[in-house]
Structure 1
Amino acid sequence: MKTKAVINLPRPHNCILAGIGVLIGAIIALGNIPSIRITFAFLAAALVSGAGNAVNDYADRELDAINNPDRPIPSGKIKPRTALLTSGTLFALGIISAALIGRISCLLLASINSGLLAYYAASLKRKGLIGNLTISYLVGSNFLFGGLAVGGFRTVGILGAMAAFSTAGRELIKDIEDIRGDKKSGSESFPLKYGRKKAAALAIIFTVIAIALTPLPYWLGIFGELYFLAVATSIAAFAVGMIIVGKSQSKENTSKASLSYKIAMGLGLMAFLVGTIV
């Protein structure tokens, strides 16, 4: 066993991004810089995310031996038992960190998400649309967790819903892009079962729902006109992605559409920060 491999197993950069998502959710919900207690929320999100990555590698160890032989388990750097132990330890530490926030809602959410991540790795990720929706919920709940940590919900709840629906759209587009690999692995992805065009159409529907939610913070008087102007750039990027994937579902087009969605989601997040700060 190599120490570096154990450290890399939870994918530290993804863990940090999960923690940053919580911080952003807290800032938006509070409208200000949160207290030092938010550190526990950051740690909880980062640790639970790392645990999910570790248990995912454990569940995919046989498939990775074919498709990703350089991963820690198939390369022999880590034993499967070590990966499972690492995951369990991180889940436990993440839930303890959530308890230290001092809000029962945070403890419950961290516990529920930990269970979902484990179940996703074991089963849901190969169940097509339900797996996509699970990931979408987990992404959206990350911002919600930050809001709950500081006692806010309304504004960050809208952001969480937008993130969830747009992620659902992007997950379907990524499934179209990966359709050949999924066919070899025996996955039950939505594009494999129902075709690329129907998958693209459903991705667009989810995206339209996310876009339809964008005016709510303005209409509810939470944010001002600058938010509306900023979020327009996000809507434009989503529109580009929808046009690309609607026109053709080739690997090249789905890759471009996925990138456009990623940019759009980043711009949407920036719009919320603009609305909060300005």
Structure 2
Amino acid sequence: MSVGESIRGLVEVTRPGNAVASGVMTWVGAFVAGVPFGLGAGVAAVATVLAVGAGNAINDYFDRDIDAINAPERPIPRGAVSPRGVLAFSAALFAAAVALAVTLPVIALAIAAVNLVALVAYTSVFKGLPGAGNAVVAYLGGSTFLFGAAAVGNPLDGVVLFALAALSTFTREVVKDVEDVEGDREEGLNTLPIAVGERTALWVGVACLVVAVVASPLPYLRGTFGVPYLVLVVPADAVMLAAAYWSFDDPTRGQSRLKYGMFLAIAAFVVGRAWTYL
């Protein structure tokens, strides 16, 4: 295997699009908290990219046998990188993330510490427990906003966005487990769809999403954001509900559309906050 292919494989295991998106979400948390362009916001965003990249890499390390069934094109199953190489690369990224996080306020550092433990423990401890792995990923997804707000000294400003993101992320993770049920069952994992049945698991995910949708107007009703927020969050809610409906027949399509709806909801928060500056 060439050096170029190995480097490409190491980049791939970080899921760079996912890692950068998480960094952007951290910045959005700082933006919603009212301090988007300070040093803290930038440091937190970069630390998030590194930590999420490290978490994705270590997930590939632990999931290499499952991926041989579910996703043989990933770097470890196809032989682009060795498991030990991925483990060392993940450790280096974690170290860099920690070095940045220690420069942030204490609350942000505490959130980062919890998140780093959760990232490492996810695959080795929680992933195979019904609903537990989904809850950990949901927390991690939502906490990027909380981390961004805490990094600029205003953690409470990120709480609503954290809760809404966590609920919708939980739904998407359940749908992804339904999509991967064959490989997970082969590996002996006891994910939520395997434990309670695919349709029941999907209904649990839908229930969480409905809670998020019902709660999504809160920033408008509380006067935090104006009408522009609603203009974007209503179609975002519609896209996510439609995606949940599609998931019963086509989980792959459903989880993909859920992601689009979640990004639109994030845009609603950005626009809603930007409107308050005018």
Structure 2 residue runs without a partner (length 5+)? none
When residues 11 and 175 of structure 1 are mapped into structure 2, their CA distance, relative to the original with a 3 A threshold, is closer
Any idea what SS the aligned residue of 2:24 has? helix
Deviation at 1:54, TM superposition (A): 1.5
Identity of aligned residues (%): 35
Q: Is the 8 A contact 2:59 2:123 kept in 1?
A: yes
Q: Is the 8 A contact 2:131 2:192 kept in 1?
A: yes
* Bigger mean CA deviation after superposition, 66-75 or 12-21: 66-75
After superposition, give the CA deviation of every residue in 1:147-182 in whole Å (9 maximum; x if it has no partner): 111112334210110000011111112222222232
Deviation at 1:42, TM superposition (A): 1.4
Partner of 2:90: 87
Any idea what SS the aligned residue of 1:37 has? helix
When residues 155 and 108 of structure 1 are mapped into structure 2, their CA distance, relative to the original with a 3 A threshold, is closer
Query: 1-side partners of 2:221 and 2:268: how far apart?
Result: 15
Which of residues 16, 33, 47 in structure 2 aligns to 1:12? 16
Partner of 1:268: 265
* Bigger mean CA deviation after superposition, 161-170 or 148-157: 148-157
Deviation at 1:131, TM superposition (A): 0.3
When residues 67 and 267 of structure 1 are mapped into structure 2, their CA distance, relative to the original with a 3 A threshold, is closer
Which of residues 48, 52, 57 in structure 2 aligns to 1:49? 52
1:73 and 2:76 matched: yes
- Count of aligned pairs between the two proteins: 271
Partner of 2:39: 36
1:131 and 2:133 matched: yes
Structure 2 counterpart of 1:34, which letter?
A: F
Partner of 2:124: 122
Q: Is the 8 A contact 1:155 1:217 kept in 2?
A: no
Deviation at 1:117, TM superposition (A): 0.8
Query: 2-side partners of 1:64 and 1:236: how far apart?
Result: 33
Query: 1-side partners of 2:259 and 2:69: how far apart?
Result: 28
Structure 2 counterpart of 1:39, which letter?
A: G
Partner of 1:190: 192
Deviation at 1:66, TM superposition (A): 4.2
Q: Is the 8 A contact 2:54 2:90 kept in 1?
A: yes
Q: Is the 8 A contact 1:158 1:213 kept in 2?
A: no
TM-score for the superposition, normalised by structure 1: 0.90
Which of residues 60, 63, 75 in structure 2 aligns to 1:60? 63
Query: 2-side partners of 1:79 and 1:230: how far apart?
Result: 44
Structure 2 counterpart of 1:37, which letter?
A: G
* Bigger mean CA deviation after superposition, 73-82 or 48-57: 73-82
Query: 2-side partners of 1:69 and 1:168: how far apart?
Result: 25
Q: Is the 8 A contact 1:34 1:150 kept in 2?
A: no
Deviation at 1:204, TM superposition (A): 1.2
